[in-house]
Chain A
């Protein structure tokens, strides 16, 4: 097994305690920098480490932070995002359940770097167990002077609260999440810049919890060390890959950024279930493109995937075997996305159900080649939507049409699904 950084304290049955986390070097970073390093030094170090956001977009974390103006008003907020509601995505749950303090320390460090006063951890309803884990630790931390006023005598005040969501996919999008916390209907908002006007109109930093969990390690061991963890030059650190679907050992695995996809599926996740044959996978959750076997050797990092027209997304790998009908898989995905659309803009609200309708006709054998042409057009037109949700929804279909057109056409020529009853 390669070096475990984020999951080093993972146990089969329970989260690491505060004592166990400290024994593994936890809160050393906090003691090292709080009141000693300048906040901007932290940002610089994170920038140098190359750390990219683990929530899906892969935007450099240090750059995101540096958008915050030095003279931005207070209070400022940090929002650790634990929403992940995309099919295939469960790494953040594993992370909170393994080592909650790592996330908390990362959050405080992000708070210090951005001179924020408060963090609001956004967590989805199906992670109630994890919400309780986190909440349970806050009190202990206040007692240990690691949270609250004058943390470790550094003069830095910072507190964390939890925001329980009532569950809707779009809440994972940063600006929608801010609206959700404010008790407004969550929808993406592209007008305001989070670092100028986020939560309650104040400067706000939204980071995925896996991103935050990397911070204590970067600050303890340095930017170069962190970069060196990756297998590929452009890579950064290690990455949590949630592998699900037709593999023998579906689970969350931590491997160096840039680990070949084949190794993750066939070594870590134990290979194909029951010796079946690999057909395709989604590399970064439901809103990434279907990827065929010919690309199995791609290095799993942001750049390598982008080079072949794919996305690392959240690193959630969903594996399909030869017996799976990819048309009906896409039908399932589009049904999901059409339902989860926030409904704000027409291309998404109207376009996704239409794409779903076309896929349904193909699956039922009630389509002609014109349907395929229209599906392809729609998958591109959908780019005209207001936020990235709709293009993400169209991504699996783009993969279907690019690599598995034969399978689509077979549905049409046979007038039925060739996989039904096989």
Chain B
């Protein structure tokens, strides 16, 4: 269940907006940030707050890239697979044929795209261009952009995140 305080804030925001549905994405973000993802329970609570049916909200939740209907890791790595990042893969040769930041990252973490590492730290998600093409190849970690990435700098980022003390972890919106 959502904490009463959060519910109250959300209710107030929805009421103030004049158009409850305009808050659909904001509410989904807030609920997602509470549960770590948009759980079934959270979806039902969000739908009720917004005065929408669960089905209506599900239609939105599954459409958007940044709403997670399944559990994700502490860090969500949105790796750009747009054409510029695809092209700027110099220095990634070490991973052989399919040289790309995505394959490198998956190999490093031992997961496939869409999966979460067993320690629950990282989820790799493919992403449409994230708008940092001048810094290709690029990725977002919980909304924070990184780039231009090299195999070495990517390793560094992962290491840094692994060693982050829990309280300083960035919480996804």
Which A residues are within 8 Å of any B CB, using their own CB?
A: 84-90, 92-93, 124-129, 163-169, 180-186, 200, 242-246, 250-252, 282, 286, 316, 318, 320, 324, 329, 332-333, 335-336, 339-340, 420
Q: How far is the CA of A88 from the CA of B25 in the complex (A)?
A: 26
Docked-complex contact A318 and B143, CB < 8 angstroms: no
The reply on B106 being an interface residue by CB < 8 A is no
A residues near B5, Cβ cutoff 8 Å: none
Q: Who on chain B is nearest to A269 by CB?
A: B134
7 more contacts with CB within 8 A, not counting A168-B65, A184-B21, are: A87-B85, A125-B66, A163-B25, A181-B22, A182-B22, A242-B133, A318-B84
Docked-complex contact A168 and B64, CB < 8 angstroms: yes
A residues near B135, Cβ cutoff 8 Å: 250
Q: Who on chain B is nearest to A320 by CB?
A: B87
Contact A336 B128, CB 8 Å, known A168-B63, A185-B60: yes
Q: Which of B20, B24, B136, B143 contacts A126 (CB 8 A)?
A: B143
B residues near A127, Cβ cutoff 8 Å: 131
Q: Which of B20, B59, B87, B97 contacts A245 (CB 8 A)?
A: B87
The reply on B7 being an interface residue by CB < 8 A is no
Docked-complex contact A200 and B67, CB < 8 angstroms: no
B residues near A185, Cβ cutoff 8 Å: 59-60, 63
Q: How far is the CA of A124 from the CA of B82 in the complex (A)?
A: 16
A residues near B78, Cβ cutoff 8 Å: 126
B residues near A183, Cβ cutoff 8 Å: 19-25, 50, 52, 60
The reply on B113 being an interface residue by CB < 8 A is no
A330 to chain B, nearest CB (A): 9
Q: How far is the CA of A180 from the CA of B64 in the complex (A)?
A: 10
Docked-complex contact B132 and A90, CB < 8 angstroms: yes
Docked-complex contact B19 and A90, CB < 8 angstroms: no
Docked-complex contact A126 and B84, CB < 8 angstroms: no
A390 to chain B, nearest CB (A): 16
A349 to chain B, nearest CB (A): 14
Contact A245 B129, CB 8 Å, known A166-B66, A183-B22: no
A227 to chain B, nearest CB (A): 29
A268 to chain B, nearest CB (A): 12
Q: How far is the CA of A311 from the CA of B87 in the complex (A)?
A: 22
B residues near A125, Cβ cutoff 8 Å: 65-66, 143, 173
B128 to chain A, nearest CB (A): 5
Q: Which of B28, B82, B131 contacts A93 (CB 8 A)?
A: B131
Docked-complex contact B81 and A164, CB < 8 angstroms: no
User: Could you list 25 A-B pairs, sorted by A, with CB under 8 Å?
Assistant: A85-B129, A86-B129, A87-B83, A88-B83, A90-B131, A126-B127, A126-B140, A126-B143, A164-B173, A166-B28, A166-B65, A167-B64, A167-B66, A169-B128, A183-B25, A183-B50, A183-B52, A183-B60, A242-B133, A245-B88, A252-B134, A332-B82, A335-B81, A336-B81, A340-B128
A365 to chain B, nearest CB (A): 15
Q: How far is the CA of A129 from the CA of B25 in the complex (A)?
A: 18
Docked-complex contact A89 and B87, CB < 8 angstroms: no
Docked-complex contact A89 and B136, CB < 8 angstroms: no
Q: Which of A128, A168, A180, A244 contacts B134 (CB 8 A)?
A: A244
Q: How far is the CA of A186 from the CA of B140 in the complex (A)?
A: 23
B70 to chain A, nearest CB (A): 15
Q: How far is the CA of A275 from the CA of B109 in the complex (A)?
A: 35
Q: How far is the CA of A168 from the CA of B128 in the complex (A)?
A: 8
Docked-complex contact B25 and A244, CB < 8 angstroms: no
B residues 21-36 touching A (CB-CB < 8 Å): 21-26, 28-29
